[in-house]
């Protein structure tokens, strides 16, 4: 297969398992985001792909070649780390040309490639600038260009945006994704920011406690989260208990929900329903009854918090669709069955 395969990769540090039997196939040209909370093993997994850490078990195969034990410098991977690690005393051009110079490229070859890469990262003419005088976003781009100088087989980035402020992060995410699409290079980014992952990735890999909890396209992860951990980690959601009677009719918060079915033989489960999928109406007509406890108007969206049977449910609407209610009002909560995702235990 053309691409990267991680086969049953485990990493133990003493008797602690940081990465636990991870198997993942990444077709050539895919943009992967490894996503998860702090300590879930994403950096360790990336470091094993990079050759900076050796797996305790399992194999890493790139384009049919087993590279599990290949030294880092033989892999020809481009890497960008959180710190960026640019050489502060060198110019932009010398930073970008660093690996080319080590490989013995001529001055002309270096200059041509540096110019090419500077165009690619939208900093043409910056070759002679000292790195120390660049802005955060410009440094970020230079680190990316330096990592791409040798046309690497894989592009690996560990929390590359974490030093940037929120606005700049968002524009760099778009830029990085566009650059990756232009080059068609297989890319793996570690992040703990789900918006960042949703913006850039073809394949989001959600990790928890060293294991893959779900690996799928961003929209699939959002719409069809595999379990409560994934549902809660990706965007915000309402997690509700559901029970079914012998005929399969489902009850949520003490009210039967027409059209909602649990798999055969399952009497209790959790469901996830996104705030934007919940409709608030007038009470009655079979809807769950609740009391509005808080309204958060964020300008672009309005969040309505409703308490029902001791549980707080959040519904989101655009200002145009906002429910005409105030705090203290009784409302009907409608859960469209097609938007309810039954989660794995
Ligand atoms: N060299 C090491 N020796 C011992 N334990 C380690 C080592 N490297 C990582 N760990 C442990 O392995 C676990 C996973 O670490 P890792 O850095 O991969 O997590 P992460 O998901 O990238 O988290 P973060 O977002 O905080 O960087 C952590 O509990 C960490 O303490």
**Looking at the structure, do residues 77 and 122 belong to the same domain, yes or no?**
yes
- CATH of residue 255's domain is 2.40.50.140
Do 185 and 301 lie in a common domain? Answer: no
- Ligand 1 atom nearest to CA at 53: 1
Query: Is 242 found in the same domain as 229?
Result: no
Q: What is the CATH number of the domain that holds 203?
A: 3.40.50.300
Which among 287, 282, 323, 319 has a CA at the least distance from the CA of 305? 323
Closest residue by Cα to atom 28, ligand 1, is 39
Parent domain of 124: 3-233
Q: Is the CB of 153 under 6 A from ligand 1?
A: no
Residues 67 and 181 in one domain: yes
Q: What is the pLDDT along the chain (345 residues), one digit of tens a residue?
A: 689 999 999 999 999 999 999 999 999 999 999 999 999 999 999 999 999 999 999 999 999 999 999 998 889 999 998 777 888 888 999 999 988 888 888 888 888 999 989 988 888 888 899 998 888 888 888 999 999 988 999 999 999 888 788 888 898 899 899 999 999 999 999 999 999 999 999 999 999 999 999 999 999 999 999 999 999 889 889 999 999 887 778 999 999 998 898 888 888 999 999 999 999 999 988 899 999 999 999 999 999 999 999 999 999 999 888 888 999 999 999 999 999 999 977
| Domain end point (choices 233, 259, 279) | 233
The alpha carbon of 237 and the centre of ligand 1 are apart by a number of angstroms equal to 28
Query: Same domain for 86 and 34?
Result: yes
DSSP state of 41: S
Same domain, 97 and 31: yes
208 lies in the same domain as 78: yes
Query: Judging by beta carbons within 10 Å of its beta carbon (0-12, 13-18, 19+), is residue 322 exposed, middle or buried?
Result: middle
Closest protein CA for atom 20 of ligand 1: 39
Give the Cα separation of 293 and 49 in Å (integer): 49
**Which of 233, 248, 283 is where one domain is finished?**
233
The reported pTM is 0.90
| Listed residues 233, 268, 296: the one ending a domain | 233
Answer whether 210 contacts ligand 1 (Cβ < 6 A): no
ipTM: 0.94
């Amino acid at each position: 297969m053309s691409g990267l395969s991680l086969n049953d990769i485990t990493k133990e540090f003493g008797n602690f398992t940081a990465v636990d039997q991870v198997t993942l196939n990444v077709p050539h040209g895919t943009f992967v985001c490894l996503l998860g909370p702090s300590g879930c093993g994403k950096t360790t997994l990336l470091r094993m792909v990079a050759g900076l850490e050796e797996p305790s078990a399992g194999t890493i195969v790139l384009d049919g070649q087993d590279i599990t034990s290949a030294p880092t410098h033989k892999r020809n991977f481009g890497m960008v780390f959180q710190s960026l690690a640019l050489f502060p005393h060198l110019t932009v051009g010398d930073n970008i040309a660093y690996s080319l110079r080590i490989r013995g490229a001529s001055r002309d070859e270096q200059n041509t490639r540096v110019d090419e890469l500077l165009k690619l990262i939208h900093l043409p003419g910056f070759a002679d600038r000292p790195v120390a005088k660049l802005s955060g976003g410009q440094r970020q781009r230079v680190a990316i260009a330096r990592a791409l100088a040798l046309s690497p087989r894989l592009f690996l980035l560990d929390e590359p945006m974490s030093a940037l402020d929120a606005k700049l992060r968002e524009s760099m995410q778009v830029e990085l994704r566009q650059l990756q699409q232009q080059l068609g290079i297989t890319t793996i980014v570690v992040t703990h920011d789900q918006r960042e992952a949703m913006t850039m990735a073809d394949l989001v890999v959600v990790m928890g406690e060293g294991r893959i909890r779900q690996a799928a396209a961003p929209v699939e992860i959002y719409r069809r989260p595999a379990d409560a951990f994934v549902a809660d980690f990706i965007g915000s959601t309402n997690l509700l208990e559901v029970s079914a009677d012998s005929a399969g009719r489902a009850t949520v918060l003490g009210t039967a929900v027409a059209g909602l079915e649990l798999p055969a033989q399952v009497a209790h489960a959790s469901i996830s329903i996104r705030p934007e999928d919940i409709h608030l109406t007038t009470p009655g007509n079979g809807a769950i009854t609740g009391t509005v406890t808080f309204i958060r108007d964020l300008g672009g969206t309005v969040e309505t918090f409703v308490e029902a049977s001791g549980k707080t449910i959040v519904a989101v609407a655009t200002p145009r669709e906002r429910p005409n209610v105030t705090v203290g009002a009784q409302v009907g909560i409608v859960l469209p069955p097609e938007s309810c995702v039954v989660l794995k235990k």
